[in-house]
Amino acid sequence: MVDLTLLDVKIVLFGANGRIGQLVMKEALDRGYQVTAVVRDHTRMTEQYENLRVVEGNAMDADNVASICEGHQVIISAVGASLGAEEELAIVAHSIVEGARRSGISRLVVVGEAGSLEVASGIKWMDTDEYPKESKPLAIAHVKAYEIYSQSDLDWTYCSPPAQIIPGRRTGQFRIGTDKLILDESDRSSISAEDYAAAIIDEVEDPYFLRARFTVAY
C-alpha cells in the first residue's frame, strides 16, 4: 500500500469548484499537497497556489477520468448533484471507479451524504419524518452511488457529513463515528464546512477507514 502520509502525494479532486470541494482543495493545499482540481469550466477558478493545477474534465466519462488521474496517488470526489439530476451520482460513481482502475490508482475518498446514516438500529435518517421530503430522491441516489463505491475493489472511504454543514471556522476538533448520525447534547447534528474538509484530508493523510464509511460532527 502506498504511504499516503508523504506530502509529495498528488491528489486529483473532482468537484473542486463546489462548496465543499473548494474547502477540501484549500485544506489539502494548505497542508502542502499537490492538487489537480477538476472543473467543468477552468475560467471559473484561478490557480492561486503554487501546488495547484486546474484542468477541465468530466467526472461522468471514465476515459476522461482515467486520463486526468494518471500520475496521481489519491482521488477525492466531491461531486454532487442537484434535485432533478440525481441519476448523475451513479454515473459519476461508475466512471470514477473505472477511471481509477485504468489509471492504477487504488485510493479513493468520497464526500458523501447524511441521509443513510442511522438514527436508531436499522432506521435511517432519510426514512424519518424529520428528514426533508424534497431531499429524499437525492439521498436515495447517494445510497446507490455508495453501493457502487463500496462494491469496488478500490481502497475507498466514504465520508458522510452530519445533518448540517454550516459556514464557520476550522477548529480541527470534532467527533468521529461510523454509521450513526452524531448528535450533540442538544440533539443537533452539525459541523462547519471547514472542519468537514479537514476531516476529509485527515483521512487522506492518515488512512483509517479503508473500505469503510465514517462520519464527523461536533
pLDDT digits (tens, 9 = 90+) for 111-148: 999 999 999 999 999 999 999 999 999 999 999 999 99
Distances (CA, A) of 183 to 27, 56, 90, 163: 25, 39, 29, 9
Q: Three cell numbers at 163? A: 445533518
Residue 2 pLDDT greater than 50, yes or no: no
Residue 97 pLDDT greater than 90, yes or no: yes
For the chain, percent of residues with pLDDT exceeding 70: 97
CB 103 within 8 Å of CB 69: yes
Query: For the chain, what's the residue count?
Result: 218
Q: Which of 89, 110, 37, 100 is nearest to 64 (CA)?
A: 100
pLDDT of residue 7: 58
pLDDT of residue 49: 84
Lowest-confidence pick of 3-12, 35-44, 147-156: 3-12
The pLDDT of 15-31, averaged and rounded, is 96
Lowest-confidence pick of 43-52, 54-63, 123-132, 153-162: 43-52
Residue 4 pLDDT greater than 70, yes or no: no
β-strands 212-217, 175-177 pairing: antiparallel
pLDDT of residue 83: 87
The pLDDT of 188-194, averaged and rounded, is 98
pLDDT of residue 1: 46
Residue 152 pLDDT greater than 60, yes or no: yes
- What is d(CA 80, CA 22) in angstroms, rounded to the nearest whole number? 13
Residue 5 pLDDT greater than 60, yes or no: no
Strand partners, 212: 157
- What is d(CA 197, CA 96) in angstroms, rounded to the nearest whole number? 20
CB 60 within 8 Å of CB 112: no
Residue 67 pLDDT greater than 70, yes or no: yes
